[in-house]
């Protein structure tokens, strides 16, 4: 079989869309400080505001509700900084004990920040998931009785793709007087997201998960909702995020969103079909496997599968040698010690927990890629099982 190069790790990051690349090259000399009033500054400012407008309209926000930040992680950290803010001008008042309710399957930028804040004044509570990675609304309801300040629940999970019922969660959160944030980094650009429809107060998005550049993210903050800046000391972004704007990144972000508006719907349909082929192909050819995540309420291009008796890193590296790039939630991956917290949260048995592989397809994925991937799994898994002491 001819070796190919196939990138199936689009949840980690995506390649630049050719149109984004073109736009960024074209604008690479826009160097003026957007805060300057002269023509150089005004040119940069105009580019930024055009992008802001594009992004805002994509998620149903007003232009002034979008803050540009350095990454999705920064956006999430910014929202959480609300918890410890005592400043009058940030407008967070009347809460005896700052309390946050979040979930056990959030991105580490939420979980570790919560852990850090818990060491000081903040109470953090974590909702558990069912076997499909879904959060139970009645559990949230219970925790809301403790009157938290903030609820933060990710819209779509990066590892297993499960989509949460954000609209319901936001509604019930508001009924209990708390603010609602969703980390929608893996959702925006893959499925329709509308902040008014969802009724959220904060929403995080990131450019490099939707064929835009790295190092640029955005945070939606609903008008009138209290906000405490994480990075202070500048008037940029209406005083909500200090630091000279990343004009080129923002331009690329804007273009990426513009392209999403055109391509997302059709791509989602195509990826759902490819996922079905991939799932059936793996199921037919390899015994003792488990798909992790929700069978239907999941982002289109993501499939997480675990193979009994084989370890994820070994599978991933064999696939890498075959030219296929995926990721794994095994203990051995990226220096972490136990298996991925998301995989474990689904309550999967130990036999399977370390054998999970995440395949995340994208706009460049073809049916031929998927055929080749199925063939590669079919070749690699029995090979590893043959030398395994657990199979």
Partner 1 sequence: MEDLNWIYTENVKDHFINPRNVLDDLDSYDHDGYGKTGNVKCGDEMLFVIKVDSEKQIITDCKWKTYGCASAIATTSKLSELAIGMSLEKAYKISPKEIVKELGGLPENKIHCSVMGDKALKAAIEDYYRRNKMEDKIKKEETRIICECMNVSEHEIEDAVLEGARNYIRVQEMTKAGTVCGECKDEVIKVMNKYLRLHF
**Residues recognised as catalytic:** 332
40 binds partner 1 per the rule CB under 8 A:
no
* Interatomic CA distance for residues 362 and 268, integer angstroms: 9
Shortest approach of partner 1 to residue 309 CB, angstroms? 6
The residue range among 20-28, 71-79, 270-278, 304-312 that interacts with partner 1, by the rule CB under 8 A, is: 304-312
130 Ramachandran zone, left/alpha/beta (phi>0; psi -120 to 50): beta
Helix (H, G, I), strand (E, B) or coil at 70: coil
Applying CB under 8 A, what is the total number of residues that bind partner 1? Answer: 29
119 binds partner 1 per the rule CB under 8 A:
no
Closest CA to 217 of 233, 197, 234, 231: 231
CA of 114: how far to CAs of 33, 230, 311, in Å?
35, 15, 30
104 binds partner 1 per the rule CB under 8 A:
no
Residues in 312-351 at the binding interface with partner 1, rule: CB under 8 A: 312-314, 317-318, 321, 323, 325, 330-332, 335, 337-339, 350-351
The one-character DSSP state at 4 is -
Contacts of 165 (CB under 8 A, 6+ apart): 135, 137
| Other Cβ atoms closer than 10 A to 220 | 27
Helix (H, G, I), strand (E, B) or coil at 73: helix
Shortest approach of partner 1 to residue 321 CB, angstroms? 7
Closer CB to partner 1, 299 or 314, in the complex: 314
Residues in 2-31 at the binding interface with partner 1, rule: CB under 8 A: 5
Closer CB to partner 1, 116 or 317, in the complex: 317
From candidates 10, 354, 360, 373, binder to partner 1 by CB under 8 A? 354
391 binds partner 1 per the rule CB under 8 A:
yes
The one-character DSSP state at 64 is G
Closest CA to 168 of 129, 144, 198, 195: 198
The residue range among 182-190, 283-291, 311-319, 366-374 that interacts with partner 1, by the rule CB under 8 A, is: 311-319
Interaction site with partner 1 (CB under 8 A): 5, 309-314, 317-318, 321, 323, 325, 330-332, 335, 337-339, 350-351, 353-354, 386-391
């Amino acid at each position: 079989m001819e070796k190919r190069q196939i990138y199936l790790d689009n949840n980690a990051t995506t390649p630049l869309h050719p149109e984004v690349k073109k736009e960024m090259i074209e604008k690479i000399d826009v160097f003026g400080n957007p805060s300057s009033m002269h023509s150089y500054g005004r040119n940069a400012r105009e580019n930024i505001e055009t992008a802001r407008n594009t992004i805002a309209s994509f998620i149903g926000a007003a232009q002034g509700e979008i803050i540009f930040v350095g990454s999705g992680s920064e956006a999430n950290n910014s929202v959480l900084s609300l918890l410890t803010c005592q400043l009058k001008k940030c407008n967070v008042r009347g809460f005896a004990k700052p309390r946050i309710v979040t979930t056990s399957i959030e991105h580490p930028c939420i979980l570790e920040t919560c852990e850090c804040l818990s060491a000081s004044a903040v109470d953090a509570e974590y909702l558990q998931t069912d076997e499909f990675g879904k959060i139970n609304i009645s559990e949230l309801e219970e925790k809301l009785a403790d009157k938290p300040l903030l609820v933060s629940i990710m819209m779509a999970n990066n590892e297993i793709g499960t989509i949460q019922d954000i609209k319901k969660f936001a509604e019930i959160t508001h009924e209990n007087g708390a603010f609602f944030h969703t980390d929608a980094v893996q959702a925006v650009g893959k499925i329709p997201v509308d902040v008014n429809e969802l009724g959220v107060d904060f929403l995080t998005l990131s450019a490099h998960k939707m064929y835009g550049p790295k190092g640029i993210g955005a945070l939606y903050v609903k008008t009138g909702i209290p906000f405490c800046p994480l990075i202070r000391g500048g008037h940029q972004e209406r005083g909500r995020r200090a630091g000279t704007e990343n004009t080129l990144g923002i331009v690329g972000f804007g273009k990426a969103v513009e392209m999403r508006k055109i391509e997302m719907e059709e791509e989602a349909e195509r990826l759902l079909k490819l996922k079905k082929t991939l799932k059936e192909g793996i199921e037919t050819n390899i015994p003792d496997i488990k798909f992790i995540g929700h069978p239907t309420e999941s982002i289109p291009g993501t499939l997480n599968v675990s193979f009994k008796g084989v370890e994820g890193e070994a599978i991933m590296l064999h696939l890498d040698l075959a030219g296929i790039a995926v990721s794994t939630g095994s203990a051995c991956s990226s220096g972490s010690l136990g298996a991925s917290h998301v995989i474990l949260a689904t309550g999967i048995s130990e036999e399977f927990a370390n054998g999970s592989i995440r395949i995340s397809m994208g706009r460049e994925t073809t049916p031929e890629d998927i055929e080749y991937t199925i063939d590669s799994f079919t070749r690699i898994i029995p090979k590893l099982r043959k030398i395994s002491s657990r199979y």
